[in-house]
Amino acid sequence: MSNAFVQHIAPGIDKLSPYAPGKPISELERELGITQPIKLASNENPLGPSQQVKQVLLDQLDGLARYPDGNAHALRTALAEKHQVKPDCVTIGSGSNDVLDMIARVFLHPGRESLFSQHGFAVYPLSSMATGATLNIAPAKNFGHDLEAFQSRINAHTGVIWIANPNNPTGTWLDHNTLYDFVKTVPPDVIVVIDEAYFEYVQKADYPDASQWLDEFPNLIVTRTFSKAYGLAALRIGYGLSHPDVADLLNRVRLPFNANSCAQEAALAALTDQDHIQQSIALNHQGLTQFAQGFEALGLTYLPSVGNFITVNVGHPADPVDAALLREGVITRPVENYGLADCLRISIGLPEENDRCLNALKKVLASAD
Ligand SMILES: *Cc1c(COP(=O)(O)O)cnc(C)c1O
């Protein structure tokens, strides 16, 4: 870039690369002329939203000319009840990414450090770098978060610590005592974010709900989303739970009307349809087993996952494998940008989609050998 204005861009922006999303189905159809591809690239719910949600959305059509409730009163009240907190502890975002970005904008700036794990979620460095803050990346242990490594990196400059539990793209998770004991050691002037985007999917007895620790830790922020188990990724709606003083700061940078009325109403309806969530979780569990067995049959190693995705080592640089899978009409997610160049992250789909993906993988790998 040689235009004169480039010299005046905000610190951190010059080193940023845009977030690389999973390939949309329409793009594959357009580029390769493939009909009916399947997308297992963005950890979406293959069942889609519940029937109740679809009905509520139809009822929204007449209201589209009006601005949404900028304070999302009804949704914040419902979420406060769900989590047993006060409504002023809830910050609504256009997806939880929006909340993550608000956190970075409030608590990071040049001279401050953003601390997260190797193989951590891509939005943490993106939002952090845009503020001009410095990245402090803790090496992973067995692909997961090494909280001792985190601890040794906390210093007077640390502004925000980001922990995805479970983590995307590794599917690794931290148990109650390990995470709680860590949060307890974090100085009170350092913000700890526990990103629970995949909370609903985790079926482990000692997996913690960090929102229950909010009373104890005013520097804790827990984020959740409607994009994954709730099946509302297109609507962009998620939220943060925190001390009201933190929420007050986040709300100062929150864009007006950041959550649209369709998203607010759909989220409210989705919360009441827990049967749909249960069905989604059961289907996911079955799919995780299907992939694990499929990978074992192919002699591939994978990272055992508690999320709605699974990362597999294809034994070669994954980019050409991804390209070959695309030609078979299967969209998965190469994770080279996460430092996992030989791996693909595959979202759990419907049983027949999982089968189609495994068969395509078998075919593609056989011709690569
Ligand atoms: C998908 C995901 C999110 C949620 O993104 P939304 O903006 O809510 O759609 C947040 N954190 C992680 C780790 C994720 O994988």
**d(Cα 275, Cα 278) in Å, to the nearest integer?**
5
Residue-range domains of the chain with CATH: 21-48+275-368 (3.90.1150.10), 60-272 (3.40.640.10)
* Buried residues in 66-93 as b, exposed as e (16+ CB within 10 A): eebbeebeebbebbbeebebebebbbbb
Atom of ligand 1 nearest to the CA of 228: 1
Over its length of 369 residues, how does the chain's per-residue pLDDT go in tens digits?
A: 689 999 999 988 988 988 877 788 888 888 888 888 999 999 999 999 999 999 999 999 999 999 999 999 999 999 999 999 999 999 999 999 999 999 999 999 999 999 999 999 999 999 999 999 999 999 999 999 999 999 999 999 999 999 999 999 999 999 999 999 999 999 999 999 999 999 999 999 999 999 999 999 999 999 999 999 999 999 999 999 999 999 999 999 999 999 999 999 999 999 999 999 999 999 999 999 999 999 999 999 999 999 999 999 999 999 999 999 999 999 999 999 899 999 999 999 999 999 999 999 999 999 876
Whole-number pLDDT of residue 176: 98
Whole-number pLDDT of residue 1: 65
Name the DSSP letter for residue 75: H
Question: Which amino acid, residue 281?
Answer: I
Atom of ligand 1 nearest to the CA of 195: 11
Q: Is 195 in the pocket of ligand 1 (CB under 6 A)?
A: yes
Q: Is 217 in the pocket of ligand 1 (CB under 6 A)?
A: no
- CA 61 vs CA 93, 265, 278: distances in Å: 22, 12, 29
Q: Is 165 in the pocket of ligand 1 (CB under 6 A)?
A: no
**d(Cα 210, Cα 194) in Å, to the nearest integer?**
7
**CB-based contact 343:311 (threshold 8 Å):** yes
Of all protein residues, the one whose alpha carbon is nearest to atom 10 of ligand 1 is 197
